[in-house]
C-alpha cells in the first residue's frame, strides 16, 4: 500500500513536471510572438526606441530555452518516460531550438528597425513588408496554436501555407530590384528592407519546422523530409 502510494505520488510529480515543461514552452512561444510583433511594429512605424528594446530583449527567450532544455534532460534521466512521452520530450527539445531562432530573427528586425528609423523611407517598401509580416505573424500564431493544442490538422495547414510566404517574399524581392535599378541611391536602404524580408521568410521556415514537429509529436510520423513533400506534391 505504501509503495502504491509512493508510485502514485511519483507519477503525479512526473505529470506535474511534464505539465511544467509544456507551460514553459507555451510561455516561450508567447515571448517569441510578442518579440516578432514588436519588431514588426518598430519597423513599419519607424520606432527606433521600440526597435532597440526588441534588439536587446532576446536574453529572456534564451534563458527560457536553457531552462526547458535542462528540464527535458532531467525528466528523461530521472523518469525514463514511456515511448509516447519520450517522443514529446525529444520533440520539445527540437521545437525550442526553432523558437529560439525565431527570437534571433526578431532581434534582427529590431536592429534593422533602429537603422531604418534613422533614414528617410519610401512608403512603398513598407506596405509590402507589412503585408509579408502579417502573413508571417499569422503563420507563427497558427504554429503556436497547433503546438499548444497539439492540433495536427492546423499544423499541416500552416506548414503547407509556408509556400505563400515564400511567394510573397519573391514578389517583394522583385519589387526591390526594380526600385534599386531605377534609383541606385536607394540601394543601401533597399538592402536593409531586403534583410527584413529575409528575416521574416526565415521565421516562416521555423514555423513550418514547428508544425512538422507537432505532427511528429502526435502521430509519431516523421514528415520532415517525406510525407510533407508528398502532400505538397499532391496539392
Binding segment toward a copy of itself, per CB under 8 A, in 55-63, 112-120, 132-140, 150-158: 55-63
Please report whether residue 180 would count as binding a copy of itself according to CB under 8 A. yes
Q: Return the residue of 7, 30, 124, 184 that touches a copy of itself, per CB under 8 A.
A: 184
Please report whether residue 119 would count as binding a copy of itself according to CB under 8 A. no
Q: Return the residue of 123, 225, 233, 234 that touches a copy of itself, per CB under 8 A.
A: 225
Residue 208, all three cell numbers:
513550418
What is the helix (H) or strand (E) element at residue 15, kind and residue range? helix 2-44
Q: What is the secondary structure of 25-57 as a DSSP string?
A: HHHHHHHHHHHHHHHHHHHHTT-HHHHHHHHT-
Locus of grid cell 513599419:
44
Q: Return the residue of 12, 63, 127, 231 that touches a copy of itself, per CB under 8 A.
A: 63
Site size toward a copy of itself (CB under 8 A) is 34
**What residues numbered 65-84 form the site for a copy of itself, per CB under 8 A?**
65-66, 69-70, 72-73, 76-77, 80, 82-83
DSSP 3-state assignment of 10? helix
Q: Is residue 196 within 8 Å of 128, Cβ to Cβ?
A: no
Q: Is residue 223 within 8 Å of 215, Cβ to Cβ?
A: yes
**Distance separating alpha carbons of residues 215 and 235, to the nearest angstrom:** 18
Binding site for a copy of itself (CB under 8 A): 59, 62-63, 65-66, 69-70, 72-73, 76-77, 80, 82-83, 86-87, 90, 93-94, 97, 173, 177, 180-181, 184-185, 187-188, 191, 194, 198, 222, 224-225
Amino acid at each position: 500500500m505504501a509503495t502504491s502510494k509512493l508510485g502514485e505520488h511519483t507519477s503525479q510529480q512526473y505529470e506535474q513536471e511534464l505539465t511544467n515543461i509544456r507551460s514553459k514552452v507555451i510561455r516561450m512561444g508567447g515571448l517569441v510572438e510578442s518579440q516578432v510583433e514588436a519588431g514588426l511594429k518598430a519597423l513599419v512605424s519607424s520606432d527606433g526606441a521600440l526597435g532597440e528594446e526588441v534588439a536587446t530583449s532576446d536574453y529572456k527567450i534564451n534563458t527560457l530555452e536553457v531552462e526547458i532544455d535542462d528540464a527535458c534532460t532531467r525528466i528523461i534521466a530521472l523518469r525514463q518516460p514511456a515511448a509516447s512521452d519520450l517522443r514529446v520530450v525529444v520533440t520539445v527539445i527540437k521545437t525550442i531550438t526553432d523558437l529560439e531562432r525565431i527570437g534571433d530573427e526578431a532581434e534582427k528586425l529590431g536592429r534593422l528597425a533602429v537603422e531604418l528609423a534613422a533614414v528617410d523611407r519610401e512608403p512603398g517598401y513598407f506596405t509590402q513588408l507589412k503585408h509579408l509580416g502579417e502573413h508571417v505573424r499569422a503563420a507563427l500564431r497558427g504554429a503556436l496554436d497547433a503546438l499548444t493544442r497539439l492540433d495536427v490538422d492546423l499544423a499541416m495547414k500552416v506548414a503547407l501555407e509556408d509556400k505563400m510566404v515564400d511567394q510573397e517574399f519573391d514578389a517583394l524581392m522583385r519589387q526591390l530590384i526594380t526600385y534599386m535599378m531605377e534609383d541606385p541611391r536607394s540601394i543601401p536602404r533597399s538592402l536593409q528592407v531586403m534583410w527584413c524580408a529575409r528575416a521574416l521568410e526565415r521565421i516562416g521556415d521555423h514555423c513550418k519546422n514547428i508544425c512538422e514537429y507537432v505532427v511528429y509529436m502526435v502521430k509519431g510520423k516523421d514528415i520532415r523530409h517525406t510525407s510533407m513533400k508528398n502532400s505538397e506534391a499532391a496539392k
